[in-house]
A = this chain, B = another copy of it.
């Protein structure tokens, strides 16, 4: 947990026994996925972003595909936890709507997450290993939503959120909050929950 054993000097160099390195590399990989996209990720970019020698990346991950898969796995884990966290204190329907609207409109802070999500979706289209991840993710998301609405509603809500987020990502000017809100309210249905 601490970083006592390094000279605290030039940054890198002499970093024996660095158990965090693996996860540091994974986080760097996610950074690269956001900025450059899945197909433009390279060992070198990840190594540079993680401030780690090139050999270290190939040492910890036997191939670029494996690194990508594990990075996405880490993303899904984090995202699922974060998603779940958003709803722990939700009790009223009003509160639920607010949380969902925030999810869609959630500014630059949520951009990283959204980009990674679509990056994963597209990559999963061609890589079965990743499709396992997207399926688990979809299942988990729906399960969370289903706590507030029936399973059918959860399904359509999920799809709607997906589309709204993608459109928000690409729009030059943000959709008015009221429109997002109206769409969500409608999808939640008349008196559900």
- Cβ of A4 within 8 Å of any chain B Cβ, yes or no, is no
A183 near B159 with CB under 8 A, answer yes
Q: Which of B131, B172, B182, B189 contacts A186 (CB 8 A)?
A: B189
Which residues of chain A from 102 to 147 have any CB-CB distance to chain B below 8 Å in the complex? 115, 118-119, 121-122, 124-126, 131, 134-135, 138
Shortest 3 CB-CB distances between A and B: which pairs? A39-B39, A159-B163, A162-B163
A179 to B152, CA, bound (A): 7
Q: Which of B37, B162, B169 contacts A39 (CB 8 A)?
A: B37
- Which residue in chain B gives the minimum CB-CB distance to A132? B172
Copies of this chain, tallied across the complex: 4
Query: Which residues of chain B have C-beta atoms less than 8 A from A73's C-beta?
Result: none
Binary contact readout A154-193 vs B (1 if CB under 8 angstroms, 0 otherwise): 0110111111101101111001000100110011010000
Query: Which residues of chain B have C-beta atoms less than 8 A from A126's C-beta?
Result: 37
Query: Which residues of chain B have C-beta atoms less than 8 A from A39's C-beta?
Result: 37-40
A118 near B115 with CB under 8 A, answer no
A95 to B182, CA, bound (A): 25
Query: Which residues of chain B have C-beta atoms less than 8 A from A161's C-beta?
Result: 163
Q: Which of B152, B158, B167, B169 contacts A182 (CB 8 A)?
A: B152
Query: Which residues of chain B have C-beta atoms less than 8 A from A152's C-beta?
Result: 179, 182
- Which residue in chain B gives the minimum CB-CB distance to A37? B39
Minimum distance in angstroms from A32 CB to a CB of chain B: 13
